[in-house]
């Protein structure tokens, strides 16, 4: 299981000192980028001459309890569905043992030249399948 640890910073919050709702998605995206690095499929390689990229086509986010500046959180990332051209990740956000939020993202493999859906590249598919078996 992959876990990303971070904290809530001032720039993550609104005027009340609570996490701004859209920033929960930003924070889990940081976890996603770290997991891609672990897979050997970094954004750097995708953006510098890669043949595909993985845009998010759907995102949903639930907020279970408020987060404040300085809160330490852990985000566990799980592979959800793996399809022919897409996959999903499920994120569980915790402050200590307290569930503070959940997020789900759906990604589609897109050819960088044609901008059309394409089958998941074999390297990415294998990384997702291997990681899913370890969960």
Sign of CA dihedral 73, 77, 80, 82: positive
* Cα-to-chain-centroid distance, residue 44: 16
Q: Could you tell me which CATH number the domain at 2-134 has?
A: 3.10.129.10
pLDDT at residue 19 in the model: 94
Residue spans per domain, the chain: 2-134
Q: Which of 12, 14, 62, 71 is flagged as catalytic?
A: 14
Q: What percent of the chain has pLDDT over 90?
A: 79
C-beta separation of 108 from 88 below 8 A: no
Look-up: residue for tokens 């639930």? 62
Predicted local distance difference test score (pLDDT) of residue 9: 95
Sorted by sequence, the CB contacts under 8 Å of residue 56 that are 6+ apart come out as 105, 106, 107
Tens of pLDDT, residues 5-45: 999 999 999 998 899 999 999 999 999 999 998 888 777 77
Active-site annotation holds for 62: no
- pLDDT tens track for 94-117: 999 999 999 999 999 999 999 999
């Amino acid at each position: 299981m992959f876990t990303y640890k971070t904290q809530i910073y001032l720039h993550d919050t609104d005027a009340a000192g609570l996490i701004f709702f859209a920033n929960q998605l930003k924070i889990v995206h940081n976890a996603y980028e770290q997991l891609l690095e672990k897979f050997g499929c970094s954004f750097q390689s995708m953006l510098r001459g890669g043949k595909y990229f993985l845009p998010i086509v759907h995102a949903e986010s639930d907020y279970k309890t408020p987060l404040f500046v300085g809160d330490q959180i852990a985000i566990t990332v799980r592979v959800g569905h793996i399809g022919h051209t897409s996959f999903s990740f499920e994120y569980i956000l915790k402050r200590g043992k307290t569930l503070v939020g959940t997020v789900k993202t759906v990604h589609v493999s897109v050819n960088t030249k044609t901008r059309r859906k394409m089958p998941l590249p074999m390297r990415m598919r294998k990384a997702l399948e291997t990681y899913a078996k370890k969960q």
